[in-house]
């Protein structure tokens, strides 16, 4: 009998981020034969160099040309091959030395390398949900054609991936994505309208990068996750639901046709879904805290409020719209979040801007990669133009 392909040579794209560092932690916990063979970072290159000293990868990539120029290359281990520029991520994703690519770059900057990993038949442990939102169709095709695997890292999708194994695809009635509700879950509409950057970055249950933390505050993150679930599990918009669960312990649920609901629970810690994406179908001991069933706990559920969080609706709208909608929404959101973090637009203008750009864009039902990339650039410019007018 043929042995399963090796999965243990891991590239961490976006190694210095919240998911990247958690992945490094998981690999150190798993130990040999697991190994980080390649790491990348955009700007925090001294941190990248420190990770290289610890993990001794074969390859390291610095994607921001500007940061690369002032980087002291002498702090890297001598055996480590240094690559530079955005294209280096694709080179790593295609490398025969890499079995598994942890796609942990934030935003559509991670798209090309995620596609390259899929085309090269790698296991893609996907944190970079934006890649699926922008080009779900192309990425799904690339996985099929390259005979690779796409395993979710996002905690909700990992939960669904685990729970869905309890039945056949035809037996799935709907999936229910849980949402923490973010820092503004209990805030009134007026109070949300005057939210500051500091308020929005204060997430109640998860420590994450700045972009996804703002996405959680607007609940755009959940809209992106609805779209992500559509592509990962091949489900139509009306089989995907969202419920607010403030404790972030029940990571999501699958309801089958007989009414049985299967959920996955664990204390909120991304190292568990990261590790499962690496070791699937096997399970290994994990460095994460476990549930403590000897203490009193409560799990609350609330309907998601689409009035106070108008971003949510965009998730289902984009699935139904298809074509270029995901790429435009994603780029508009990325640019709007940057503008908000820069103090140039108000919190509620993030979603207003996204909706406007989405409605204004030149829709195409079956876009090529070039078309998607062109629209990504267009939406970023348009949101800046719109922001200078509001």
| Angle in degrees, 0-180, between the axes of helices 129-146 and 369-389, rounded to the nearest 10 | 180
> Least distance (Å) from ligand NAD to the CB of residue 18?
4
Residue with the CB atom nearest Mg ion in the bound state: 154
Best CA proximity match to 26, nearest among 288, 261, 206: 288
The reply to whether 376 sits near ligand NAD by the rule CB under 6 A is no
The encoded tokens of residue 120 equal: 């090269």
The reply to whether 255 sits near Mg ion by the rule CB under 5 A is no
Residues near Mg ion (CB under 5 A), total: 3
> Least distance (Å) from ligand NAD to the CB of residue 48?
8
Contact region for ligand NAD (CB under 6 A) — 10-18, 164-172, 249-257, 275-283? Answer: 10-18
The reply to whether 376 sits near Mg ion by the rule CB under 5 A is no
Q: Please say which residue, 18 or 21, places its beta carbon nearer to Mg ion.
A: 18
Q: Out of 23, 63, 88, 348, point to the residue binding ligand NAD (CB under 6 A).
A: 63
- 């409020």: which residue's tokens? 305
The reply to whether 42 sits near ligand NAD by the rule CB under 6 A is yes
| Angle in degrees, 0-180, between the axes of helices 311-321 and 347-360, rounded to the nearest 10 | 20
The reply to whether 215 sits near Mg ion by the rule CB under 5 A is no
Q: Out of 10, 150, 163, 208, point to the residue binding ligand NAD (CB under 6 A).
A: 208
Consecutive H or E run containing 175: strand 172-179
The encoded tokens of residue 200 equal: 């929005």
* Binding-residue pattern over the window 132 to 171 for ligand NAD, x denoting contact by CB under 6 A: ----------------------x-----------------
Longest dimension (CA), the chain: 65
> Least distance (Å) from ligand NAD to the CB of residue 366?
25
The reply to whether 62 sits near ligand NAD by the rule CB under 6 A is no
The encoded tokens of residue 305 equal: 């409020």
Main-chain dihedrals φ then ψ at residue 166, nearest 5 degrees:
-80, -5
Provide the sign of the torsion angle of the four alpha carbons 368, 373, 376, 378, taken in this order. negative
The reply to whether 38 sits near ligand NAD by the rule CB under 6 A is no
Helix intervals (H) in the chain: 18-30, 45-55, 65-69, 88-94, 111-119, 129-146, 155-163, 189-193, 197-200, 210-218, 220-233, 271-279, 311-321, 325-341, 347-360, 369-389
Contact region for ligand NAD (CB under 6 A) — 16-24, 160-168, 178-186, 287-295? Answer: 16-24
Point out which residues bind Mg ion (CB under 5 A): 154-156
Point out which residues bind ligand NAD (CB under 6 A): 14-20, 41-42, 44, 63, 86, 104-106, 109, 127-130, 154, 206, 208-209, 211-212, 270
């Amino acid at each position: 009998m043929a042995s399963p392909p090796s999965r243990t040579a891991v590239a961490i794209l976006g190694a210095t981020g919240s998911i990247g560092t958690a992945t490094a932690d998981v690999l150190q916990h798993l130990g040999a034969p697991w190994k980080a063979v390649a790491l990348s970072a955009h700007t925090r290159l001294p941190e990248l160099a420190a990770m290289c000293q610890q993990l001794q990868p074969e390859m390291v990539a610095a994607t921001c040309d500007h940061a690369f120029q002032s980087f002291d290359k002498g702090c890297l281990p001598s055996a480590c091959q240094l690559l530079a520029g955005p294209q280096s991520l694709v080179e790593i994703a295609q490398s025969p030395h890499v079995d598994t690519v942890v796609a942990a770059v934030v935003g559509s900057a991670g798209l090309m390398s995620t596609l390259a990993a899929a085309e090269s038949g790698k296991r893609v442990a996907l944190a970079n949900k934006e890649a699926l939102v922008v080009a779900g169709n192309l990425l799904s095709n690339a996985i099929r054609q390259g005979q690779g695997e796409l395993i979710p890292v996002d905690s909700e999708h990992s939960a669904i991936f685990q729970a869905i194994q309890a039945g056949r695809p035809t037996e799935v009635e709907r999936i229910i994505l849980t949402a923490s509700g973010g820092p503004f879950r209990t805030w009134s509409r007026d109070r949300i309208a005057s939210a500051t950057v500091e308020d929005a970055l204060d997430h109640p249950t998860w420590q994450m990068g700045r972009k996804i933390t703002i996405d959680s505050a607007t609940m755009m993150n959940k809209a992106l996750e609805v779209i992500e679930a559509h592509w990962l599990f091949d489900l139509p918009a009306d089989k995907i639901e969202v419920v607010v669960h403030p404790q972030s312990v029940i990571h999501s649920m699958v309801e089958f046709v007989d009414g049985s609901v299967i959920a996955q629970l664990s204390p909120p810690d991304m190292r568990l879904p990261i590790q499962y994406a690496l070791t699937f179908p096997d399970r290994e001991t994990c460095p994460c805290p476990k549930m403590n069933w000897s203490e009193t706990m409560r799990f609350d559920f609330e309907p998601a409020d689409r009035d106070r969080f108008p971003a949510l609706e965009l998730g289902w709208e984009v699935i139904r719209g298809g074509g270029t909608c995901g790429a435009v929404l994603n780029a508009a959101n990325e640019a709007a979040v940057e503008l908000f973090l820069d103090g140039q637009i108000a919190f509620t203008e993030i979603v207003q801007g996204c909706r406007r750009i989405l409605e204004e864009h030149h829709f195409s039902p079956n876009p090529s990669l070039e078309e998607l990339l062109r629209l990504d650039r267009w939406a970023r410019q348009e949101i800046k133009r719109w922001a200078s007018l509001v």
